[in-house]
Amino acid sequence: MNIQMPIPGHIDPVPVPRAPVTRADGRVDLLGLSLADLRAALETAQLDPKQAKLRAKQLWHWIYNRGVTDFALMTDIARTMHGWLAMRFVISRPEVVEAQVSSDGTRKWLLRTDDAQDYEMVFIPDADRGTLCVSSQVGCTLNCRFCFTGTMRLVRNLTPGEIVGQVMLARDALGEWPSQPEGRMLTNIVMMGMGEPLYNFDHVRDALKLVMDGAGLGLSRRRITLSTSGVVPMMARAGAEIGVNLAVSLHAVTKEVRDEIVPLNRKYGIEELLQACADYPGANNARRITFEYVMLKDKNDSDADAHELVRLLKKYDLPAKVNLIPFNPWPGANYECSDPERIKRFSSIVFEAGISAPVRTPRGRDIMAACGQLKSASEKKSRAELDRLAEEKQAALG
């Protein structure tokens, strides 16, 4: 299996093969493999093709429906096979470096890959739902200036196993095996953690297929949201090949301001982005596109900005919901959060135009788990270093 790693290029980060990390014990990790991949792994290990087909189905059920990691507990597989499987394979979970719980119940996990790279995931419990915020990359290709994760260099893409492993680990922590459609605490997934999901498209797609499979993890595509900063060329593919809800990190309505705070806008402008939203398969009033809008004091929060946001959404006839996000501070940030009354006024203007514009309640701020605060590395960077890194990223994006 190749781990695709975007590297800087003139057009987009170019996927190039990256050798997978071999486990020190020589065993193959089955987490993240599809049914076909499981069967192929068994055949590669010299299991008879007919046996491989049967065992792959059994393993798939135990891994993704029941959450079992110990072959000895797989009761419909012959005991004589348990040792054979354990010698050749393993069913992993991400290594937990640190687990924190916020005063509001939000949970954040610092996770580590086999090649010692750190990333984070967050679980946000509410009265009527529980949302897991999943990372797709270690670091980030982009450099959105209000986002702490954007101050990290991209290290590498996460594999399908490392992505779906976050969901499995959360299920372990919540005691939600075997999979069942009702009574879950973990009801929703948002691809809004570290990284830009559409720059790790294949691995995100393959992981979410496992999550959505009704015979496995069984989470409906209507309960999964993929967030992008606006990688326009990949949005149609996301709609066709993944088909989950779409969220767009908009954050500004003028070229000047969006160029500054979401520099990808210099490549794919607002109008081009909104046209891609209008073309997104399956978007309708029942499945609205969410536009994320971080509220930055004296930057993007005026009445004029609110009216322009309404004009743009109506121009493209978009079935839209606007999530207004109070800016969550982090060390070295160059922005302040808009005043509560200003946010309320902005929300009212959008609401009065017939577009839902709720203000998101910040969660997990005390453990740096809130929107825009995820960053696994704890090193401190000066403002000059942050600016230099942003310039390097922008040059790479073209």
Q: What is the CA radius of gyration of the chain?
A: 22
Nearest to 136 by CA among 271, 234, 27: 234
> Do 363 and 124 form a contact (C-beta atoms < 8 A)?
yes
What values do phi and psi take at 229, rounded to 5?
Answer: -80, -5
CA dist., res. 49 & res. 72, Å (int): 22
> Is the alpha carbon torsion for 297, 302, 308, 309 positive or negative?
positive
CA dist., res. 224 & res. 132, Å (int): 10
DSSP 189-208: EEE-SSS-GGGGHHHHHHHH
The token duo for 9 is: 């290029």
CA dist., res. 72 & res. 81, Å (int): 9
CA dist., res. 107 & res. 101, Å (int): 4
Q: Does 120 qualify as catalytic in the annotation?
A: yes
Residue with tokens 């399956």: 282
Q: Which helix (H) or strand (E) holds 124?
A: strand 118-125
In residues, how long is the chain? Answer: 398
Question: Between vectors from CA 136 to CA 131 and to CA 138, what angle results, nearest 5°?
Answer: 120
Q: Write down the catalytic residue from 95, 98, 120, 241.
A: 120
Q: Does 43 qualify as catalytic in the annotation?
A: no
Q: Write down the catalytic residue from 241, 260, 371, 392.
A: 371
Catalytic center residues: 120, 371
